[in-house]
Amino acid sequence: MVVIAAVNGYALAGGCELAMLADIVVASEDSSFGYPEARVGVLSGMGNFHILPRVVGEKKAKELFLVGEPIKAKAAERFGMVNIVVPAPELKRSVEGLVKKILRNAPLSVRYSKLATDYGTDSNFSATVAYETELLMATFQSEDYAEGAKAFVEKRKPRYRGR
């Protein structure tokens, strides 16, 4: 399952933590992201000390956690916390368009791409290559691959079945 966060407004503390757990984050340009926990004497939770440094780098993560001030969506996009920033009235349509693009792809390829990315984030290069090779072989043996190749040759849209 692909998780897309649509953020319109403030994504602070738990809201920011939830957004960082998503696969893709789309935000309205007036949104803000941050971790104000240190300003109120508590610690961020939900695995953020594992996740955020991988997203923005160690130095930026420390700044966000230690300073506790929110950043605007465009800055969050520059640091990799947000994938796409759009005007607020276009947020819903942008997310729907993104979902449609993902859904037109082969379900197994989407699933395996997410799995391989998640695995590669926490594994060494050799282990990641071995895992992605295993998944690649599974896609080569799938009905979706056969359908995709056939549709390409026939110059038509594929009809994937997730098998």
List the chain pLDDT tens, one digit each, 163 residues.
Answer: 899 999 999 999 999 999 999 999 999 999 999 999 999 999 988 888 999 999 999 999 999 999 999 999 999 999 999 999 999 999 999 999 999 999 999 999 999 999 999 999 889 999 999 999 999 999 999 999 999 999 999 999 999 988 9
If DSSP codes are grouped into helix, strand and coil, which group holds residue 124? coil
pLDDT of residue 122: 87
pLDDT at 48: 87
Nearest to 16 by CA among 42, 60, 52: 52
Strand-strand pairing, 24-28 and 4-7 = parallel
pLDDT in tens, 98-117: 999 999 999 999 999 999 99
Active site residue 154: no
- What value does the mean pLDDT of the chain take? 95
Residue 13 contacts residue 44 (beta carbons within 8 Å): yes
The per-residue pLDDT for 41 is: 93
In CATH terms, the fold of domain 4-102 is: 2-enoyl-CoA Hydratase; Chain A, domain 1 (3.90.226)
Q: Give 48's contacts (C-beta < 8 A, 6+ positions apart).
A: 17, 20, 35, 65
**Is 37 among the catalytic positions?**
yes
Q: Which of 17, 96, 132, 143 is catalytic?
A: 17
Residue 46 pLDDT? 81
What does the pLDDT read at residue 57?
93
Same CATH topology for 4-102 and 104-153: the answer is no
Query: What's residue 47's pLDDT?
Result: 85
Query: Would strands 32-34 and 71-72 be described as parallel, antiparallel, or unpaired?
Result: antiparallel
Percent of the chain with pLDDT over 70: 100
Q: Where are the domains of the chain?
A: 4-102, 104-153
Please check whether the domain covering 104-153 is classified as CATH 1.10.12: yes
